[in-house]
Every structure is written in structure tokens, then in C-alpha cells.
């Protein structure tokens, strides 16, 4: 989720992340914040955010589109890119490089 690196208002909360999980979304990444961050951390879906953010404010974040190029944390992210994350951070592997990087990673 491109939140323009602005965690002042939550990008998502536990209800939205739970719904995404039920729809078989592989994971959630935002350069903004999450409401209910401790509850989201217990869900069976990878979810990464900049920091917890209690308020929801539709004047700061609005859903505009889906499956379009965005910027997240200063990185360009395109549909079909591979996102890899753990507790230390998240990286974007552009789709056209994914197979090559996977081969190198397995060496």
C-alpha cells in the first residue's frame, strides 16, 4: 500500500487485513502505519508496516486504484513484482528479475 511514507493515519487495521487474508492475499506491505498492529502480528498473513498508527483518517489515505505501479518506502513496485520480507525489512524483486535472482539465491 502506497501511503506516501506517511504513518500519521493508518493504512489498514485488523479487520481489513483479516479480510485480505480470507481472500487469499499473500501478504500486506505499507510504508504507512497499521491500526491494531499487535493483533495483525498474530494473524497467519505476513504484514509489514512502518509503525503502529492508531488513527484512521480518510483525508490522508484513500483507496484509488489496484494493480497499478506504486511507490512504497521509496521503492517502485509494479504489478507481478515479488515482495520478500521478514522482521528485518522488506525488499522488492522486480518480476523480470525474479527467476534470475531465485537461481542465484539457491546457489
Q: Which helix (H) or strand (E) holds 100?
A: helix 95-106
Residue 15, marked binder: yes
Contact 92, 76 (CB under 8 A): yes
Residue 83, marked binder: no
Q: What is the pLDDT of residues 54-102, one digit of tens each?
A: 877 677 888 889 999 999 999 999 999 999 999 999 999 999 999 999 9
DSSP E strand boundaries for the chain:
10-12, 28-29, 33-34, 47-48, 51-52, 70-72, 75-77, 82-86, 89-93
| Closest C-alpha among 65, 77, 63, 61 to residue 7 | 61
Residue 60, marked binder: no
Residue 14, marked binder: yes
Q: What is the pLDDT of residues 6-19, one digit of tens each?
A: 888 899 999 999 99
Q: Which cell is 38 given?
A: 499487535
Contact 42, 68 (CB under 8 A): no
Residue 4, marked binder: no
pTM, rounded to two decimals: 0.83
Q: What is the pLDDT of residues 27-36, one digit of tens each?
A: 999 999 999 9
Amino acid at each position: 500500500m502506497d501511503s506516501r511514507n506517511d504513518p500519521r493515519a493508518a493504512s489498514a487495521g485488523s479487520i481489513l487485513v483479516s479480510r485480505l487474508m480470507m481472500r487469499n492475499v499473500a501478504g500486506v506491505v505499507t510504508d504507512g502505519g497499521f491500526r491494531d498492529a499487535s493483533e495483525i502480528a498474530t494473524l497467519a498473513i505476513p504484514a509489514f508496516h512502518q509503525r503502529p498508527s492508531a488513527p484512521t483518517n480518510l483525508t490522508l489515505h484513500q483507496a484509488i486504484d489496484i494493480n497499478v505501479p506504486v511507490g512504497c518506502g521509496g521503492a517502485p513496485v509494479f504489478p507481478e513484482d515479488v515482495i520478500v520480507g521478514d522482521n528485518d525489512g522488506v525488499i522488492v524483486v522486480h518480476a523480470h528479475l525474479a527467476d534470475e535472482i531465485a537461481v542465484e539465491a539457491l546457489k
